[in-house]
Amino acid sequence: MSDSPGWASPGSSPSDPPPASGGKAPGGDGTDRTPAEQPPTNWSAQQPPPAPQGWGAPPPPPQGPPDWGNWGPPPAAKPGVIPLRPLGVGEILDGAVSTARAHWRTVLGISLAVAVMIQLVSTVATGIWLRDNSGFEALQTGETPTNEELRDALSGTTNALGFEMLATLVGTVIATAMLTVVVSRAVLGRQVSLGEAWRDSRGLLPRLLGLTLLVGLIVTAAVTVGVLPGILLSATGSLPAGIGLFFLGGLAGTVVAVWLWVRYCLSAPALMLERQGVIAAMRRSARLVRGSWWRIFGIQLLTFVLVMMVGMIIQLPASLLAPVLGGNGLDSFVSGGPVEMSWTYLAVVGIGAVLASTITLPLSAGVTALLYMDQRIRREALDLELARAAGVPGYEQHTGDTASGN
């Protein structure tokens, strides 16, 4: 496939792989697009001529009002939430927040619906399998559980955790797909309704689910391969050496897992916005991340820390209130002692989790989508295609010149 496919606006037909030349730029005005690895045709003609060298060089022109006799670069076009140029860290974060503010009805509807679905499944599963589980209660109180209680606690925890992970996976896929569509429209300065975001994303949900599972399996496999030798060595009787190898292997596996996760972190927006397949989207992400791994890792790490801090701040009141309303008292929260998982306690904790997810989901999804666009702007001049798709004045003539071969 081409290393530089054009911009595929949400709702367009699949294009895997997009044409390398002679095709139409999706989301543009229907004319040929500029090759990604070369500067646009006639680009140099739009710039000021180079200053003459030597003793006979004339003095610089006098400074006048803005845009009068000033050879500086013009300000970048900004039809939507970000300027169409390479972005800084603050501009990426601000773009994600601005998207949530400019399209708050759609963003709030998506994140709230997904958060309620995830937390409802999690709360019901926890209440069914752990609320009256004697083995789990024995583990909480520090008592020595019997073998039967231990099996009950293990099975109940596994069932509750399995349903929670399944709901989180499905909800995250839906939220990522729809929020990526919203961000792509927000960059162009266009409105999008909840129904439009769903129609544009639902056809790609199976692919995105497969992509999420595959990347998760790859990351998990890296950690598993790292700790497996230590586990096998401990099982053969060399417990001290096995424990040491376990921790060393776990550390090495975690490093590899983080490297792989960053390498493929742009796969989801590549799949959604370029209508790629699963493997093609992963290869696309690897190409975009190449040479910028540390920068993308730093931005994603900063976003993760911000999301965790915001989530903890929002959930703190619910965590303080839940033991009181659930009949455990505030002492159980302060001392960290066991709590009775009544339905009231689970409901209050669930409300706090819903509010936290509603705020943090748009931030994490928005940053990833804008990181993808920023990498394409830096490498492939995607800003020109976005400006044409947004109808920014001054780019139509450039497109016509490119199409005529001048």
CB 140 within 8 A of CB 157: no
Secondary structure letter of residue 129 according to DSSP:
H
Cβ atoms of 390 and 79 closer than 8 Å: yes
Q: Report whether 193 contacts 125 (CB < 8 A).
A: no
Read off the amino acid at residue 364.
Answer: S
Distance (Å, rounded) from C-alpha 181 to C-alpha 198? 9
The pTM of this model reads 0.77
Contact 2, 23 (CB under 8 A): no
Joined tokens for residue 318:
């619910």
φ, ψ of residue 392 in degrees (nearest 5): -70, 130
Note the pLDDT of residue 24: 41
Counting every residue, how long is the chain?
406
Can you list the alpha helix ranges (DSSP code H) found in 236-328? Answer: 239-263, 267-274, 278-289, 293-325
Please give the pLDDT value at position 136.
61
Amino acid type, 70: N
DSSP 103: T
Long-range CB pairs of 314-323 (<8 Å, 24+ gap) are 314/352, 314/355, 314/356, 314/359, 315/349, 315/352, 315/353, 315/355, 315/356, 316/352, 317/352, 318/348, 318/349, 318/351, 318/352, 318/353, 318/355, 319/349, 319/352, 321/348, 322/348, 322/349, 322/352
> How does DSSP assign 227-260, residue by residue?
HHHHHHHHHTT-HHHHHHHHHHHHHHHHHHHHHH
pLDDT at residue 125 in the model = 87
**Tens of pLDDT, residue by residue, the chain (406 residues):** 444 444 554 444 343 444 444 444 444 444 444 444 444 433 334 444 444 444 444 455 445 444 444 555 668 889 999 999 999 999 999 999 999 999 999 999 999 999 999 999 998 988 887 766 556 666 666 566 677 767 777 777 888 889 999 999 999 999 999 999 999 999 999 999 999 999 999 999 999 999 999 999 999 999 999 999 999 988 887 888 889 999 999 999 999 999 999 999 999 999 999 998 999 999 999 999 999 999 999 999 999 999 999 999 999 998 888 877 866 666 655 555 566 677 888 899 999 999 999 999 999 999 999 999 999 999 999 999 999 988 888 776 544 444 333 3
Single-letter residue type at 66: P
Beta carbons of 317 and 351 less than 8 angstroms apart: no
Contact present, 267 and 215 (Cβ < 8 Å):
yes
Show the tokens assigned to 290: 């190449």
Contact status, residue 166 vs residue 209, Cβ threshold 8 Å: no
- Residue 184, helix vs strand vs coil: helix
